[in-house]
């Protein structure tokens, strides 16, 4: 089943209210998975397994028809969307809310880490769509604060990731609480054997929809991340803008409040910037985007929802001021640079506690995101001076008004030329070249442990004292097989029959894969409940 001819959202059978909401969001045409899924889902006569990569518009593929089929007058839960992480629960819930238009649908995310009392109050008031992580959904089911006996749709989003995270039993448990006549829709980038088995048990007569695989992130986009304190993000942003010769970039923030705050600070520092988010009018949005496309401004700050439909070429940078909620949002964001053969840079700011989330996004998006450091003030000043030198020298030999020559001769009559030039440079560029314009940055590699060491995981090693191993031998064994320094291996504990080591999170998979290749498949593995 393929999308051989271009179709509009109207062609897919969606209602006029939904089409209006789509137009207001700036969506121009549906993606392949949306074209394939929406009409089938609207028929509402079969279960669906949809295989599509991250970044292909899966949320809208099930969200749009789901909204169209919800009955707002009823206060019962009509749909449950299961997702693997709390970040994805928030992201999917926000996306569905942004697509509902004027339809009176209530959607609530429920996930661990949020106050359960707050969730209980919202569920008690009545909601139509629940978006939740498996553990917290089961908690509510056992409390009887969430009832699924009348739901029409159960959607498993990122099913393969839920499998990888050990949620297969939780998913089966949740199925037991649901209406047996519901329609089940499973969205997954891959369809491993256990997912197939789950489908055979609980999704009788399903239709398989498979979108073509494509490269999600362009090789022309360099992807890097900076670890900074939340309070240092704005300073880091200014340094990135200033060190670039011709910065032309899109800056993504999580909330409308963050967008307004970043814009206010940039304008106060004299940067040519504007912003878009859900509270600005359509006419203001169009004016702002027109100014950005014509490069009357070089920095646009936006939320994910407001940035939907933006199509701007020649961007030098996409900056994730706030870490995106999931890999799909990450792919959508950075896909706006590195286009049409032009090179671009995608920069993501993270705080130390966000490292594992970034690694999760990197794995799902199949991206290569390299760690880097924020530009130093002296490097920025040097880059600015080089630009000024080039600009001045490029003007030499060109037609300069004779008044300037006469002026220059008069200034040199009783003064040394070098002193005159130094005074002119100081007069023109003192503000731009003043190091005091920049604040201090508490760089992690100088002030505290690196995020690479803060993001750790515990590994189980199936050898111990009986194998004549000791802590030193174990460290040497691992460091010889994998490109890891001995000092990166911590908390080595050697017992009689097995051992434990703690390593940087990003090194763990490399270590496990290395030993699997050498025929020692069960030698080293993750400690299921020991991740730090």
109-139 pLDDT tens trace: 999 878 889 999 999 999 999 999 999 999 9
Span 490-496, average pLDDT: 79
Bigger pLDDT: 332 vs 92: 92
Q: Which residues contact 431 (CB under 8 A, 6 or more apart)?
A: 437
Percent of the chain at pLDDT exceeding 70: 89
d(CA 430, CA 119): 55
Bigger pLDDT: 308 vs 241: 241
d(CA 129, CA 64): 13
Q: What pTM, to 2 d.p., does this model score?
A: 0.54
Q: At what angle do helices 58-69 and 86-99 cross, to 10 degrees?
A: 50
Residue with the two structure tokens 């003043």: 434
For residue 283, name the pLDDT band (cuts at 50, 70, 90). confident
Bigger pLDDT: 346 vs 325: 346
Which class is 221-448 in CATH?
Answer: alpha beta
Among the residue ranges 148-152, 349-353, 450-454, the one predicted with the least confidence is 450-454
- Look up the CATH superfamily of 10-210: P-loop containing nucleotide triphosphate hydrolases (3.40.50.300)
Q: What is the pLDDT of residue 1?
A: 42
Residues 37, 63: contact at Cβ < 8 Å?
Answer: no
Mean pLDDT highest for which of 86-95, 251-260, 393-402? Answer: 251-260
Residue with the two structure tokens 């002030």: 447
Which fold, 455-526? Answer: Alpha-Beta Plaits (3.30.70)
The residue ranges of DSSP E strands in 84-242, in sequence order, are: 107-110, 129-132, 153-156, 183-188, 206-210, 221-227
Using alpha carbons, select from 322, 316, 350, 321 the residue that is nearest to residue 336. 316
Using alpha carbons, select from 209, 297, 305, 327 the residue that is nearest to residue 256. 305
Residues 377, 433: contact at Cβ < 8 Å?
Answer: no
Q: Tell whether the model's pLDDT for residue 528 goes beyond 60.
A: no
d(CA 139, CA 153): 20
Q: Tell whether the model's pLDDT for residue 68 goes beyond 90.
A: yes
Span 66-79, average pLDDT: 94
For residue 518, name the pLDDT band (cuts at 50, 70, 90). low
Q: What is the pLDDT of residue 234?
A: 93
Using alpha carbons, select from 53, 38, 42, 29 the residue that is nearest to residue 1. 38
Where, residue-wise, is CATH 3.40.50.300 in the chain?
10-210, 221-448
Buried b (16+ CB within 10 A) or exposed e, 330-358: bbbbbbbbbbeeeebbbbbbbbbebbbbb
For residue 339, name the pLDDT band (cuts at 50, 70, 90). low
Bigger pLDDT: 284 vs 522: 284
Average predicted confidence (pLDDT) for the chain: 84
Using alpha carbons, select from 91, 79, 99, 83 the residue that is nearest to residue 9. 99
Q: What is the pLDDT of residue 502?
A: 83
């Amino acid at each position: 089943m393929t999308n051989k001819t271009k179709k509009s959202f109207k062609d897919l059978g969606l209602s006029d209210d939904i089409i209006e909401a789509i137009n207001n969001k700036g969506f121009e045409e549906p993606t392949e998975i949306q074209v394939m899924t929406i009409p089938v889902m609207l028929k509402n006569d079969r279960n669906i397994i949809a295989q599509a990569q991250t970044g292909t518009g899966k949320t809208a593929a099930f969200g749009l028809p789901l909204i169209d089929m919800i009955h707002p007058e009823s206060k019962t839960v009509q749909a449950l969307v299961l997702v693997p992480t709390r970040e994805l629960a928030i992201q999917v819930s926000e996306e569905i809310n942004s697509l509902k238009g004027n339809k009176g649908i209530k959607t609530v995310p429920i996930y661990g880490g949020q106050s359960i009392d707050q969730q209980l109050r919202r569920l008690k008031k009545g909601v139509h769509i629940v978006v939740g992580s498996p553990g917290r959904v089961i908690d509510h089911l056992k409390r009887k604060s969430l009832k699924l006996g009348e739901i029409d749709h159960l959607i498993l989003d990122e099913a393969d990731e839920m499998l990888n995270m050990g949620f297969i039993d939780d998913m089966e448990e949740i199925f037991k609480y649901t209406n047996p006549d519901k329609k089940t829709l499973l969205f997954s980038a891959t369809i491993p054997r256990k997912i197939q088995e789950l489908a055979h048990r609980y999704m009788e007569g399903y239709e398989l929809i498979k979108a073509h695989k494509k490269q999600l992130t362009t090789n022309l986009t360099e992807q890097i991340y900076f670890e900074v304190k939340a309070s240092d993000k704005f300073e880091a942003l200014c340094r990135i803008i200033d060190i670039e010769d011709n910065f032309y970039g899109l800056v993504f923030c999580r909330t409308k409040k963050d967008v307004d705050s970043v814009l206010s600070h940039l304008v106060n520092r004299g940067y040519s910037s504007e912003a878009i988010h859900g509270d600005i009018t359509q006419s203001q949005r169009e004016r702002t985007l027109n100014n950005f496309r014509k490069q009357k401004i070089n920095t646009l700050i936006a939320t994910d929802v407001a940035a939907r439909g933006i199509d701007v070429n020649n961007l030098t940078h996409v900056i994730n001021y706030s870490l995106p909620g999931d890999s799909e949002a990450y792919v959508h964001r950075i896909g706006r640079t590195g286009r049409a053969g032009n090179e671009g840079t995608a920069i993501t700011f993270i705080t130390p506690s966000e490292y594992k989330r970034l690694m999760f996004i990197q794995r799902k998006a199949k991206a290569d995101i390299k760690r880097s450091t924020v530009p130093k003030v002296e490097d920025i000043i040097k880059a600015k001076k080089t630009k000024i030198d080039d600009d001045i020298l490029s003007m030499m030999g060109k037609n300069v008004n004779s008044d300037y020559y006469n002026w220059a001769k008069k200034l040199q009559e009783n003064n040394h030329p070098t002193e005159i030039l130094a005074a002119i440079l100081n007069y023109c560029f003192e503000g731009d070249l003043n190091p005091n314009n920049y604040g201090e940055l508490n760089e992690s590699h100088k002030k505290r442990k690196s995020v690479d060491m803060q993001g750790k995981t515990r590994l189980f090693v199936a050898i111990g004292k009986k194998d004549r191993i000791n802590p030193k031998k174990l460290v040497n064994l691992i460091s010889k097989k994998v490109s890891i320094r001995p000092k990166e291996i911590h908390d080595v504990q050697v017992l009689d029959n097995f051992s434990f080591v703690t390593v940087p999170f990003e090194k763990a998979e490399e270590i496990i894969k290395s030993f699997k290749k050498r025929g020692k498949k069960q030698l080293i593995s993750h400690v299921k409940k020991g991740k730090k």
